[in-house]
């Protein structure tokens, strides 16, 4: 599929900057920009990958707008495989918008969100998995998250999916030929080889699915809630992990009344830290609202850091919170170890037989490294997947793999039960189709439109 109209959009963030870029793509990109470009040489006389210095004028008034450098990339050697002109001007809202408006007046139309990437997909330069990796690169929160996205942009996941589909398609071709010509002996695979190939593909799909939890962590981060009763050191812990004074810390109980959220990079893992109001019964309306919100956030937490004050005996409020987090992934942070302990280790181990217990002192800055290690260990449950492997980070891909696995398992059972090959081929075709959804080979146009609508304008 090839789209013939020419589109344009600002491709850099709007705001004060040294440089801004307007991207133009389509059959008429060169002619349209030439109508408003004034330089020693026209763009139409310029070779691909060359830049020209000059000015952009207002299409209607003819007045100079800004001095620019136009970079030309001729089809098919561009991101979209179409003729592309990138107009580099001074950054800032006014020059960018005036140049864009002049380009639109000269004959281009405003691009839809993600339309440049969509054209690269429709014109066959990249598949859908690679296109979605671009968004993951843009939104990456850590270097490791970006490494995974770059690997997918280079086609790591796409190649693996393509190989699995080809294996199944060859088996399908053999089975369908045997159905069409039952009287002939069809060369290809033996019955044993067919069962082996199906099992191998199932094993590979299961392996990919096992990486999806790691992928989710790198994509979305770990939602980590810091809870405890008032004045146990929750805000101090937040500040210590952030290495900055983000939350106000006082000796007055109930100082934190609202939720404070911050993101940190913990050895490549994005950790969304949420400091909550101390959970207790209170008559203060504002504090009570903060407590209720803290309880709501507990239900959405991936990880809970329960902070206890070792210098005070456990209270009814502590035990109420302990009950709230009973079924949550929890690390118990026994804080204020620089003070005399009123809670002994035996009591803690009896209350938390399966939870990791870390002793900390914010005053003496002790226990923080151990806490960071405990968080990573609990998040990955001892199974950190190397970012050199193919990792599934996209929820849509995960669901497609789950559907493919279900269909392939049905095909395997039908084949083992010596059922007619018609039953086997139906489920194999479904498996191939579900895998094809990842790369976009078997997706409907409306789903594709929905995916690219989530992209930013100008990409």
CATH fold for the domain made of 132-211+391-440: 1.20.120
pLDDT at 278: 58
Tokens coding 414: 């039908």
250 in a labelled binding site: yes
Q: Which residue has the higher pLDDT, 445 or 296?
A: 445
pLDDT at 377: 85
276 in a labelled binding site: yes
365 in a labelled binding site: no
CATH 3.40.50.300 intervals, the chain = 218-380
Residue 334 backbone phi and psi in degrees, to 5: -90, 105
388-444 residue pLDDT tens = 578 888 889 999 999 999 999 999 998 888 888 888 889 999 999 999 999 988 777
232 in a labelled binding site: yes
pLDDT at 458: 74
255 in a labelled binding site: yes
pLDDT at 29 over 90: yes
CATH 3.30.1360.120 intervals, the chain = 7-127
Tokens coding 85: 């002109």
pLDDT at 93: 92
The answer to whether 166 touches 197, Cβ cutoff 8 Å, is no
Tokens coding 17: 């900057």
pLDDT at 291: 60
Confidence of residue 166 (pLDDT cuts 50, 70, 90): very high
pLDDT at 3: 57
- DSSP letter for each residue of 99-159: HHHHHHHTT-EEPPTTHHHHHHHHTTSS-HHHHHHHHHHHH--SHHHHHHHHHHHTTHHHH
251 in a labelled binding site: yes
CATH 1.20.120.430 intervals, the chain = 132-211+391-440
Q: Domain 218-380, what architecture?
A: 3-Layer(aba) Sandwich (3.40)
CATH number of 7-127: 3.30.1360.120
From residue 24, give the alpha-carbon distance in Å to each of 56, 125, 415.
Answer: 14, 17, 53
236 in a labelled binding site: yes
Listed range (124-138, 158-172, 244-258, 270-284) with the worst mean pLDDT:
244-258
Residue 76, preceding peptide bond in cis (omega within 30° of 0):
yes
pLDDT at 382 over 80: no
pLDDT at 256 over 50: no
Confidence of residue 202 (pLDDT cuts 50, 70, 90): very high
Integer Cα distance of 290 and 69 in angstroms: 53
């Amino acid at each position: 599929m090839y789209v013939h109209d020419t589109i344009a959009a600002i491709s850099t963030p709007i705001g004060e900057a040294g440089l801004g870029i307007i991207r133009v793509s389509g059959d008429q990109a060169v002619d349209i920009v030439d109508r408003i470009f004034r330089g020693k040489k026209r763009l139409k006389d310029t070779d691909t990958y060359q830049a020209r210095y000059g000015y952009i004028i207002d299409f209607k008034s003819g007045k100079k707008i800004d001095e620019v450098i136009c970079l030309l990339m001729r089809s098919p050697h561009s991101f979209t495989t179409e003729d592309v002109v990138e107009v580099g001007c001074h950054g800032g809202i006014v020059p960018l918008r005036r140049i864009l408006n002049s380009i639109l007046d000269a004959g281009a139309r405003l691009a839809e969100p993600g339309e440049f990437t969509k054209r690269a997909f429709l014109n066959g330069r990249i598949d859908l998995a690679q296109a979605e990796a671009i968004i993951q690169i843009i939104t990456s929160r850590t270097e490791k998250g970006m490494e995974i996205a770059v690997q997918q942009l280079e086609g790591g996941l796409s190649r693996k999916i393509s190989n699995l589909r080809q294996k199944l398609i060859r088996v399908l071709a053999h089975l369908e030929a045997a159905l069409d010509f039952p009287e002939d002996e069809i060369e290809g695979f033996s019955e044993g080889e067919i069962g082996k190939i199906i099992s191998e593909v199932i094993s590979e799909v299961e392996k990919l699915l096992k990486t999806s939890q790691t992928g989710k962590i790198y994509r979305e981060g770990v939602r980590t809630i810091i809870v405890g009763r008032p004045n146990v050191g929750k805000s101090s812990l937040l500040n210590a992990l952030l290495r900055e004074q983000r939350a106000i810390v006082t000796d007055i109980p109930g100082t934190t009344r609202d939720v404070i959220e911050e993101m940190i990079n913990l050895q490549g893992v994005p950790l969304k830290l949420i400091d909550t109001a101390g959970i207790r019964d209170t008559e203060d309306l504002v504090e009570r609202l903060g407590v209720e919100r803290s309880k709501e956030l507990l239900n959405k937490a991936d990880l809970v850091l329960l902070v206890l004050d070792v210098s005070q005996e456990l209270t009814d409020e502590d035990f109420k919170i302990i009950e709230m987090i009973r079924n949550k992934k929890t690390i118990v942070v026994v804080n204020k170890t620089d003070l005399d302990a009123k809670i002994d280790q035996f009591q803690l181990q009896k209350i938390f037989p399966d939870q990791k217990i870390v002793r900390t002192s914010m005053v003496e800055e002790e226990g923080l490294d151990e806490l960071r290690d405990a968080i990573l260990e609990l998040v990955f449950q001892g199974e950190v997947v190397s970012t050199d492997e193919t990792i599934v980070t996209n929820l849509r891909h995960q669901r497609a793999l789950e559907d493919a696995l279900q269909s392939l398992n049905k095909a395997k059972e039908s084949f083992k039960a010596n059922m007619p090959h018609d039953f086997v081929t139906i489920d194999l075709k479904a498996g191939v189709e579900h895998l094809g959804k990842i790369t976009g080979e078997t997706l409907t146009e409306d789903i594709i439109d929905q995916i690219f609508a989530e992209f930013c304008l100008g990409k």
